[in-house]
Amino acid sequence: MTDQNCEKMQNIIRSVPFMQLLEMEVKALDGDTLTMDMPFTNQLSRMTMTNQVHGGAISALIDSAATFLVVSKLEHGVPTINYRTDFLKPAVGGSGLSAKATMRRLGRSVAVVDVDVTDESGALIAIGRGTFGTSEG
């Protein structure tokens, strides 16, 4: 997809206060994959002095990357039916995180998206799967 499509998704992100707080950014949108980055900030720490990213922020990145991949295909908002996150290792602060969302199914009523979250070194931090309603409304 074009930079124009990434910018279209980024404009939607800019309109969502929660996503502004997390500073998420669509980096690539190509066919059935979307890459979204989220920088580490101290506000995302799990606990003071741990320098680890809170799992809620990682889960939000997974849900957001998956959602925006479906939105890019359907060109309307979609509800999350379910999503899960499996944490594989701590995400150490100071490094940003990158989520790569891959469409597994885009049906008439349901879409399924898998997401891998890696740190700046490329280490796999978490995996997730989201299921979304595809009907407009």
- Binned at pLDDT 50, 70 and 90, residue 91 comes out as confident
129/5: higher pLDDT: 129
54/134: higher pLDDT: 134
pLDDT digits (tens, 9 = 90+) for 28-70: 998 899 999 998 877 777 777 777 888 889 999 999 999 999 9
The class (CATH top level) of 3-133 is: alpha beta
Mean residue pLDDT of the chain comes to 89
- Contact present, 22 and 44 (Cβ < 8 Å): yes
pLDDT tops 60 at residue 136: yes
Please tell me the pTM assigned to this model: 0.90
Domain ranges of the chain: 3-133
Q: From the CB of residue 5, how many other CB atoms can be counted at a distance below 10 Å?
A: 15
Instruction: Give the tokens for residue 122.
Output: 């490329």
Q: From the CB of residue 81, how many other CB atoms can be counted at a distance below 10 Å?
A: 14
Report, as an integer, the average pLDDT of 69-97.
90
- Binned at pLDDT 50, 70 and 90, residue 82 comes out as very high
